[in-house]
Amino acid sequence: MEQLNTNNKTILGITAHPDDHVCYAGTILKLQKQGYSYVEVVLSDAEESGMIKDGERVVAVEKSEQLNIRWNHEFALARKLLDIKEVHRMKLPNLGIEYSKESVMSLMEIVRRVRPEIALIHHPEDYMSDHIQASYLSLEALKVSSYSFRLDLGKNHRTPRVYYFEGVSPIDADVLVDITEEFSQKIEVLEVYGSQFGDRAHQLIDGTTAYRGYPRRVKHAEAFEIPKNYPQWEIGEMYD
């Protein structure tokens, strides 16, 4: 067995939409203090979503304006706040993300190149189809990345730690990360997405982090779940 290269302390986040990283932003900011760097794959451009402008919901959203605001303003700012080293936009249709072999292979190629130690992915029991499909796609790509096949698409790599992150729907929490120190920065990232979130988003973020913080005996925590069909291989020191 090859020992994990501890210099490659990389976290890979795989999300359906450009604002989904708010869910686990506190954990990214915390791990960066421990020397981790963060890379993100965004499966869709979210070209079809609704928009809030000057406090009001826009009735008919113009796609090019939407894309400009979401990527060139909001995501660009969030990228700075979260210090995202690399961003891969897969440009799958939003509201139309579907599991496909082709997308699994494209994602696998990225996983094998980035070679993360930790991957954060959507939970399959979510309220939204894009998130559910993203979860299936991500987990399968992470699994097949470790297989000794299609080595023309990169040397195989098993990501030692994969976690589902918590969105709107409560998950079966296996890991609670204390993000009390990072909480105000998480809120800054949330507030970048002014076209998407109104005040109600604060209710969600304040509520879930406070609820998850209670059993952790801290003010704010983020919850993660270990996929049942992607067990961690070791206790203690991890190997590649």
List residues near Zn ion by CB under 5 A.
16-17, 20
Nearer to Zn ion, 23 or 144 (CB): 23
Q: How far is the CB of 12 from Zn ion (least distance, A)?
A: 17
* Tokens 């801290």, located at residue: 218
Residue the block writes with tokens 């996983």: 111
Nearer to Zn ion by Cβ, of 17 and 157: the residue is 17
Query: Coil, helix or strand for 74?
Result: helix
Alpha helices by DSSP H, listed for 19-116, are 25-32, 63-67, 76-81, 101-114
Least CB distance from residue 16 to Zn ion, whole Å? 5
- Strands of 16-169 (E only): list them: 37-44, 52-53, 56-57, 84-92, 118-121, 161-165
Q: Closer CB to Zn ion, residue 21 or residue 212?
A: 21
Q: Three-class SS string for 29-44?
A: HHHHCCCCEEEEEEEE
Q: Which residue is nearest to Zn ion (CB)?
A: 17
Cβ at position 167, least distance to Zn ion in Å: 7
- Minimum CB separation of residue 36 from Zn ion in Å reads 23
Q: Using CA atoms, how far apart are residues 73 and 210, in angstroms rounded to an integer?
A: 29
Nearer to Zn ion, 20 or 45 (CB): 20
